[in-house]
Structure 1
Amino acid sequence: MLHSESRKNRTKDYIALSLFTCALLFNITACKNDIFMSQEDMAARLRLQLLADSAQDAQQHLGLFISSHTDSLEADRLVSRYYQEGNEWVWLNDENEDFIEKAETTVHFLENEVQKIGFTPKAFFTTEILKDLEHFRTLDFDSTNTSVTKTMAELELNLSKAYIRYALGQRYGFMNPHKVFNRLDKRKEGGYRIVYDVDIEQPSEDFTKLALAHAADENPSLFLAGLESHHPVYNQLKERLTTDSTPDGRQRILCNMERLRWRHTQKTDSTQKHVFINIPSQQLWAIRPDSVFSMRICCGAWKTKTPLLSSKIRLIQLNPEWNIPGSILRDEVSLHAGDSAYFARNDYFIVHRNTGDTISPKDITRTQLRSGAYRVAQHSGPRNSLGRIIFRFNNQFDVYLHDTNNKNAFNYDRRTISHGCVRIQRPFDMIKFLMSDAQEWTLDKIRMNIDMRPEGDKGKRYQREHTDEEDPLKGIKMSYVSVKPHIPVVIDYYTLYPNPETGKWETWPDRYEYDKQIARRIKPFMP
């Protein structure tokens, strides 16, 4: 205690003596007209001297601050790691003579900008930072029992955390969807189901160092201003914040603004041909630079959510067999082991994986079906659950777009009914969209393979000439059609978004309650 009081007294005496010396030097030099130095310049010199003389003790306090706080935000963890690795101080160092002005400019930028995105300045330590800056401006470190070294450490850490919270949040998002959404649905066998697999840009320690290096710029706010999303929908949502005062409406806006901070590595926009699927609206949009058309979809139920992903459609499969996924085989089909009528009614057949032999349903048990030694598939044809067409793209879930034998499902208001794949309302229109450069004869061959009438002259003539043959499709049979070039597909999730076809803003239900998860994660930043 005595040691602490001694240090305070020494600090007080040092500052008083320094101020007296500064004033004396000012009067002498001013009278002699040799060197002119304002009182402000003298105070700035003193501040730099204080920083230099207190650096070692302040470094120790900074370490204590970091070790005594648990960082719950990724931005804060990256900042703490930066200092723990022994990197140089960013704001308060003996080379940064104008640190007060630079810090104030940055804080005032944050105060203004965070409110424009619906956040509170309190989440960026603005009050604490301005208070500590005032202590440095007035060199008031004793009248309020404020330690120079502790103030230095607190100010340096709060400035960096506020700066990186904003920089990281605006550049990559204020939450990481991979870490949040992929920890929601527990699997029976342990672990969690992956429901978010969009490839997005991720923050790194390198970005932290780059951002903090820009704090040495004459105006660090210019760097921060350049990080905000330039997506046109983001800017429109930001504008809507100024007119929507309802709590639910503002929360919906903030959640969808956050989604638009997650920058996809696979770029798609209105100038590029692509397929956009939105789960909350239960719709698909096929987008060309000059036109858009939409169709209804059926997507995953609550327990078997359709994963959010980005990929490219590469292949069209005609008349597929449906190899029933293991989870459906285990939880549903196996319950009907021994029931031949059930298997016949659904066009299912059983195959031994090792021998390839077809097994009679009456000779199989529930345990055998769940053992993994057998697969169950559904014959191709009009009763197949996948319909007549599949659109395949690379993904880890074996999820795809497909036709369906249950066309009536598209009339439901709530169409979250599948096991994860996406059923589409007009599959042949999708073929024409993907293969817009294909000749009519190619499209007619596809039509005839799935029992549709040909529309071109060549196709009609072929059908007339081969109608009476035992196998009319013998010369034109097709199972797979390549899509070239591959067409980007994005399965995403927006509850407020302009309809790509009409341009009108629409709101949709939070079907998988992802908005709730986002709102919970951005709550620390909200008023």
Structure 2
Amino acid sequence: MINYIFKKNNCTVYAVLLFLATFTFQGCKKPARSDMGAQLFKKTNNKVFKDVTPDGFAPVFEDVLNQEKSKLNNANTISAYYHKNGFDPIFVMEHFPNDDVKTLLTYYNNANNHGLDPKIFQTAQIDTLLHTFYNKKGIKDVNEAYRDIAHLELLLANSLINYSNAMQFGVINPRRIYARYFTQTKRPDSTFMTHVFDVRSFKPYLDSIQPKNPQYIAIQKALADANYIAPGLTRQETQRLLVVNLERLRWQNKPTENRYVIVNIPDFQLNIMNGGHSELNMKVCVGEGRNKDYTNTLVEYDESDKVDRPFSRETPQLNSMINEAQVNPVWNIPESIASKEIITEAQKDPYYLSNKNINVYKDGKLVDDPETITWDDNSASEYSFKQQPGSDNALGKIKFLFPNKSSVYLHDTPAKEPFNQTMRAVSHGCVRLEKPLDFAKALFGDGEKYNLIEKLVSEDKSEPTDIALPKKMPIYITYITCWEDENGQLQVRPDVYGLDIVLYGHLQKLSGV
């Protein structure tokens, strides 16, 4: 009796497990789509689709996928999805019958509202294939039907991934086009891109991914306004200016912190932002740029302009954390500056170095009498130069440090005259501050550390002193040439480094222009 119950219970458990396993497996499988042909025929009234079956379609789709793989922007992600899901044409079968694809094309055709060419999203190819589906003479037999379904499926997958990426990350990766771009910028990965296959209705999804940043919407409105022409620009330049700045706003490189420092290179301004508002603003001088006289414009764009050729002194785009201030800093003069400027001056005046409080070192040892050296073009590689603290020090009385690959920092300067100029791209690459003590107070706050800074800055000569920030401050050095100010007015700045021209060139390349 006991054995019977044991065996009976085992059989029952086995049956239950088998049922659950079968149910789970079926629940995870993609639909068999046994009515695949019937659905397509019902929608198009094209008899050629009557003979279409999933089993007949799968090998043809695999073949087309292999042939077209090189033309897909995200081929590995797309290919992996269809291999994993039995070459199921999910876009055609779940979105074509209910006219969802027409909705998709509407959004693609409105891409120019984002400053993008609809051609980027293969709009014409999709539209042509849709018309073929309804053309009773356009598809000769079932094998041709299979191939057309496969091509439409791949077009829909590729274009929707591209559109999703464009709206949420931008169409250009700034790291790939700019030589001096070191800002952390999130880009779409395969996990993100695969989500498009789970979209059940295009319109709510497409609405959800439209950029909603107020700055973005303001520039979109200007782009749509045929009467808007930016001051000092032509209509053509204005349109191109708006287009490149829309693309910048799509990049996921914006500050996420509540309080941060931001330097906008073309504006020659620094702001400390707090809760979306500026708590401190000042003029800055940035690195000398290739387009400081603004002779190169977006009107004169040509193919070679898409190659970024930065001038050696241009300030890089980056983000980092300000971690300390150095009061009465020593300036370790870079070899490039020593060879082009310091030695040139020393050749003219043997006492230039001592008058500027610049020490000379050879093999790491201080040279006692640098005025006796006969300087030549090779001297910069033989000697090193350090300007000691003092009123003539090129870094002024204080500098602010943050880790970065370009060895740039924010600093005071004894050269105040450039702050009165409109074009302030005059430095060797670092950022000069108009009000360094105000900046220090904003970073350190009232208290012992700021009092020490104020004391040391007021002294004629003092040893270099490093003072750590009580809390590290995020800093973003960026490049924006058009934005809406707090009064709702669009502000426009000249393209001092020619980076608008480089970006526009790559956007044109995507359009096949």
Counterpart residue identity of residue 512, structure 1: Y
Higher RCO (C-alpha 8 Å, min separation 6): 2
The 1:48/1:55 distance shift into structure 2, 3 A limit, reads farther
RMSD: 3.5
| 2:418 corresponds to 1:422 | no
Tell me if the contact between 1:48 and 1:93 (Cα under 8 Å) persists in the aligned partners: no
In structure 1, distance between residues paired with 2:51 and 2:439: 68
Mean Cα deviation higher: 413-422 or 354-363: 354-363
In structure 2, distance between residues paired with 1:427 and 1:61: 63
| 2:501 corresponds to 1:516 | yes
The answer for the alignment partner of 1:497 in structure 2 is 483
The 1:205/1:487 distance shift into structure 2, 3 A limit, reads same
In structure 1, distance between residues paired with 2:190 and 2:94: 27
- The alpha-carbon deviation at position 152 of structure 1 amounts to 2.6
The answer for the alignment partner of 2:160 in structure 1 is 163
In structure 1, distance between residues paired with 2:226 and 2:87: 39
The answer for the alignment partner of 2:189 in structure 1 is 204
Q: Give TM-score, length-normalised by structure 2.
A: 0.76
Counterpart residue identity of residue 370, structure 1: A
The within-5 A match list for 1:381-420 is 381-420=390-429
The answer for the alignment partner of 2:78 in structure 1 is 82
The answer for the alignment partner of 2:237 in structure 1 is 248
Identify which of 449, 455, 462 aligns with 1:448.
Answer: 455
In structure 2, distance between residues paired with 1:423 and 1:107: 49
Identify which of 264, 268, 273 aligns with 2:253.
Answer: 264
In structure 1, distance between residues paired with 2:503 and 2:51: 43
Deviations 1:310-361 (A, max 9, x none): 1122111111111001221233334456653221233211123444665634
Identify which of 328, 331, 345 aligns with 1:319.
Answer: 328
The 1:422/1:126 distance shift into structure 2, 3 A limit, reads same
The answer for the alignment partner of 1:297 in structure 2 is 284
- The alpha-carbon deviation at position 285 of structure 1 amounts to 1.6
The 1:415/1:152 distance shift into structure 2, 3 A limit, reads same
The answer for the alignment partner of 2:339 in structure 1 is 330
Tell me if the contact between 1:313 and 1:487 (Cα under 8 Å) persists in the aligned partners: yes
Gaps of 5+ in 1: 1-20, 23-37, 70-75, 183-194, 453-470
| 2:303 corresponds to 1:310 | no
In structure 1, distance between residues paired with 2:43 and 2:59: 26
In structure 2, distance between residues paired with 1:375 and 1:221: 64
- The alpha-carbon deviation at position 178 of structure 1 amounts to 0.8
The answer for the alignment partner of 1:56 in structure 2 is 59
The answer for the alignment partner of 2:294 in structure 1 is none
Deviations 1:30-88 (A, max 9, x none): xxxxxxxx955997994683454233234323322335x5xxxxxx4313663278454
Identify which of 212, 216, 241 aligns with 1:230.
Answer: 212
Aligned length: 442
- The alpha-carbon deviation at position 494 of structure 1 amounts to 0.9
Mean Cα deviation higher: 105-114 or 401-410: 105-114
In structure 2, distance between residues paired with 1:39 and 1:57: 22
Identify which of 111, 133, 136 aligns with 2:133.
Answer: 136
The answer for the alignment partner of 1:176 in structure 2 is 173
Counterpart residue identity of residue 60, structure 1: D
The 1:291/1:142 distance shift into structure 2, 3 A limit, reads closer
In structure 1, distance between residues paired with 2:254 and 2:50: 46
| 2:98 corresponds to 1:101 | yes
